[in-house]
Amino acid sequence: MKINDFVDFLCCPDCKGTIGIDGENLICMNCKRTFRVYYGICVDMLPSKKFRRSAKTELERKSITVYNKLFDEPFTWKDNPSPWGLVVPKNYINKLQKHKHMVYSLIPNRINRFIDISAGSGRFSIELANRSEVCFLCDISVDSAIYLTGLVLKEKIENVLVVRCDYTSLPFKSDVFDFCLCNDTLIYGPDHEKNVLLSIYEISKKGGSCVLDFSNKYHRGFWHKPYTYGYSKRQMIDMLLNTGFKIDVCLPLYYEFAHDIEEKKFITKLINLVVPPTRYVFRVVK
Ligand SMILES: C[S@@+](CC[C@H](N)C(=O)[O-])C[C@H]1O[C@@H](n2cnc3c(N)ncnc32)[C@H](O)[C@@H]1O
C-alpha cells in the first residue's frame, strides 16, 4: 500500500478538512497546512495547538508536563529511538505475556480497519497488522513514530501507516474504524480519560469495537506506588457508558498469576476470590 491508499481515512487535525497529496507529502485542502511524510509510510499530523485540560491533582499536573514535552519535540530523525515499552524489566516479562494473552483473547481474527491510538513500541499491535486490511499505528512520541517506521520497513509490512498525532485531536474522519486498541493509556486522570474515550468513539464505526484497559484503584492501594490513575470498576463502567459505548466484555487481569496464563490452577482460582485484580480489560462497542 502507498500513502495514497491511506489518505481517504485522514482529515486535518486542525480544521477537519479533506487531506490530499502534495508531492511526497500531504496537504489539507481546506486550510492548506502541509504534513510531512517520511519513507512513504510515516506522517507527522500533530495539531497546531496543544490540548488544554484542567489539572486538579499533582498526578494530573505531572502528566500534562509529560504531554507538553512530547508535543513540543520537533520531528527530527534519530538512530536509536526509545519508545515506551521497548525495554521490559525481567520481572515484567511474564506479566506482559499475560496481559497480551488477555487482550488478544478479545481481538477479532480478521479486522478491516484497525488503529492503535497509543502504540508506543507496537508491542501490543504490530502483530495485528497481518490480521488487518489497513492498519494505523499512532503515537504522539517522535521516538515511537521513528521506531515503528523502522520496524515496519524492516519487517516489510505493507499495510501500515505510522502517524504521529495527538489522540485528543485525531487526524481521522468520523466513523471509520472497525477495531481500535487503547492499551495502558487511560491512566492520566478523569479529564484525560474522558477526552481520549470521546476521540475513540468519534473515529469508531457504528458497531465497531475497541479493547481498552484501566488500572484498578483497589489493587494499587494495597501494594503499588500510585504513579498513575486507578479507578473502581464502577467508575470505569460509568466512563465507558457516559461516552456512549456498550460494554461487551469485562475481564479482570491479575498480574500476580502471570505464571498461570489460562488461570486453570486451583490455587489461582482460590486466590482470585480474595485478591483484587491489577486491571480490568474491556471490549466495548459503539
Ligand atoms: C503507557 S504507554 C502505552 C503504550 C502501548 N499502548 C503499550 O501498552 O505498550 C502510553 C503511550 O501513549 C503515548 N501518548 C501519550 N500522550 C499521547 C497523546 N496525547 N496522543 C497520542 N499518544 C500519546 C505515549 O507516547 C506512550 O507511547
Provide the pLDDT for residue 258. Answer: 75
Ligand 1 pocket: which of 51, 86, 147, 185 to mutate (most atoms within 8 A of CB) = 185
Would you say the CB of residue 230 lies under 6 angstroms from ligand 1? no
pLDDT in tens, 38-75: 999 999 999 999 999 889 999 999 999 999 999 999 99
| DSSP helix/strand/coil, 101 | helix
Q: Measure 79 CA to ligand 1 centroid, in angstroms.
A: 21
User: Rounded to the nearest 5°, which phi and psi values hold at 100?
Assistant: -65, -40
Residues of the chain where predicted confidence (pLDDT) is lower than 70: 220-226
Q: Let me know if domain 40-285 sits in CATH 3.40.50.1400.
A: no
Atom of ligand 1 nearest to the CA of 67: 16
Atom of ligand 1 nearest to the CA of 183: 6
Dihedral in degrees, nearest 10, Cα atoms 213, 218, 221, 223: -80
Q: What is the mean pLDDT of the chain?
A: 94
Cα gap 217→98, rounded to integer Å: 20
Q: Measure 23 CA to ligand 1 centroid, in angstroms.
A: 30
Q: Measure 118 CA to ligand 1 centroid, in angstroms.
A: 4
Q: Measure 119 CA to ligand 1 centroid, in angstroms.
A: 6
Q: From the CB of residue 66, how many other CB atoms can be counted at a distance below 10 Å? A: 12
pLDDT in tens, 231-240: 999 999 999 9
Domain ranges of the chain: 40-285
Would you say the CB of residue 13 lies under 6 angstroms from ligand 1? no
Its pTM surpasses 0.75: yes
